[in-house]
Structure 1
């Protein structure tokens, strides 16, 4: 953890130049000192560095994420995963949190999550995944006595035991633990895809300049009952399309492949 002395204007200037600094300021919390000065910095930061810059921040954070994944091998299912930087790890959840906070605001985690695009199920998935990954990371640090992020072979059995994973008939405790880890990593990936798609769709619904005066496109009906093309993605006409006929979950992917389109986030949410 480093420190620096900067004026509010300098904070805003540096935030505009470096997305890492901007992310740090996005998470700024008052601890002690001059409350009025902190409030001035927060107001200036929000006005000059945040407002109207959602699309730019999303692009920067996703590019940062892609570069991080590439450094880690761009694979979710590795035998010695990096809990923090790996695909499906803590940093992916934090990236999602920062993006949502930039767009919707909020101070606490609960404020940000509940004020954003998360459904109750998605919010629950986020919290469960974060708790598991943070618990694993803390145990890693306690066991090794340092900031170790890689869940190596020799550490996996001890972490599993510390977290209560015991041997069962036909399956070792460490196997149960790693299975849980990979399921969490999968959930983080699914959550990232769904929320990123939702945010992208919302950004496209905010026409700028002259486009605000033009009529917006309505979803294009497909021959398949209950399905439409919405904002260039295969969507559904209502939330109960999947409940009315569970086979529509399969049809969604068939139609997406046939139409060569991505799946709309609302449709993805309906099947998760």
Structure 2
């Protein structure tokens, strides 16, 4: 399996295929450092080919949200394969204790199953009790592999009690946990965390969260620019950008304790037309953001003058009488 194949099949199928290749490299002989280098080189090639395939697909179909989802799925594939390699080959626990359990969660934007090309990969390693030598070894293996791949990784290792305690103190942590998604590992641990989170923070207790997120939004607008019509807009943090859409989603899902916009329609909170409009705005912003990251080779969120014309061309805008392609794009 190579990176271009990852567009075919489910994440589980891709991860299993990649794991089989990595297990073969681990079992192939040589000292441990040589085997680790072979595994890293293989995963690097897989990841690079996958990213190239995703960019090619974005240019071909122009679908921004699908691009962000594919990038998330690529990292899911890599992480799940490496986790299986750690458990089944490198750090096999012959008689695991109740403490030797681990759930690997995606949080933040990665938890929403979307990643821009330059986004951080935010992870939570969830434990039942205090850290063990086995758990520490598995986490360290995963992190060093991801760092050696050149990924920007945000990470924390916590118990459920740690998560609840810190979420009480820090609204950023509480928000990140709202987006948490199980990648691999112990599903019961994740289910316990979701139950505790809903009981401690969501059921009839949303006022402080809503006030904090609205204050955070206002401060972000003051910092980045309060106008929707900036000549060099920030597609992530600017007014009307992706972060504003995320804030709307957080407020609604937190208050109503739901996981999707469709559930809000079922409850009569949103209409189908409003959900379609939300997704239309999100799709456009994701397309611009993904192209922007690929074009610059970094996590660039500001659409500067020099990037606006090539961006318009990438998105397929053409000149109309009295209006150039870049002008049509910037008026979108």
- Does TM, scored on the shorter chain, surpass 0.5? yes
SS in 1 for 2:182: coil
Shift in CA distance, 39/30, structure 1 to aligned 2, threshold 3 Å: same
Which whole-Å CA distance do the structure 2 matches of 1:11 and 1:108 have between them?
23
Residues 1:158 and 2:310 are matched in the alignment: yes
Which whole-Å CA distance do the structure 2 matches of 1:14 and 1:112 have between them?
28
Deviation at 1:105, TM superposition (A): 2.4
Shift in CA distance, 113/153, structure 1 to aligned 2, threshold 3 Å: farther
Deviation at 1:110, TM superposition (A): 3.8
Give the match for residue 101 of structure 1.
253
Judge conservation of contact 2:265–2:271 (CA < 8 Å) in 1.
no
What is the TM-score with the length of structure 1 in the denominator?
Answer: 0.64
Give the match for residue 3 of structure 2.
none
Out of 79, 83, 87, which is 2:235 matched to?
83
Deviation at 1:46, TM superposition (A): 0.9
Residues 1:173 and 2:318 are matched in the alignment: no
Residues 1:147 and 2:281 are matched in the alignment: no
SS in 2 for 1:117: coil
Give the match for residue 276 of structure 2.
124
Judge conservation of contact 2:317–2:325 (CA < 8 Å) in 1.
yes
Structure 2, gaps ≥5 residues long: 1-121, 123-153
Which whole-Å CA distance do the structure 2 matches of 1:76 and 1:107 have between them?
29
Structure 1, gaps ≥5 residues long: 181-272
What is the TM-score with the length of structure 2 in the denominator?
Answer: 0.52
Deviation at 1:121, TM superposition (A): 2.1
Q: What per-residue deviation string (whole Å, max 9, x for no partner) do you get for residues 78-135 of structure 1?
A: 1000000001100000000001110122334544565562122211110100000000
Give the match for residue 135 of structure 1.
287
SS in 2 for 1:154: helix
Which whole-Å CA distance do the structure 2 matches of 1:140 and 1:57 have between them?
32
Which whole-Å CA distance do the structure 2 matches of 1:148 and 1:92 have between them?
18
Which whole-Å CA distance do the structure 2 matches of 1:172 and 1:96 have between them?
33
Q: What per-residue deviation string (whole Å, max 9, x for no partner) do you get for residues 161-201 of structure 1?
A: 11110111211000000000xxxxxxxxxxxxxxxxxxxxx
How many equivalent residue pairs?
Answer: 180
Give the match for residue 175 of structure 2.
23
SS in 2 for 1:87: coil
Residues 1:9 and 2:130 are matched in the alignment: no
Structure scoring higher RCO (CA < 8 A, sep ≥ 6) equals 2
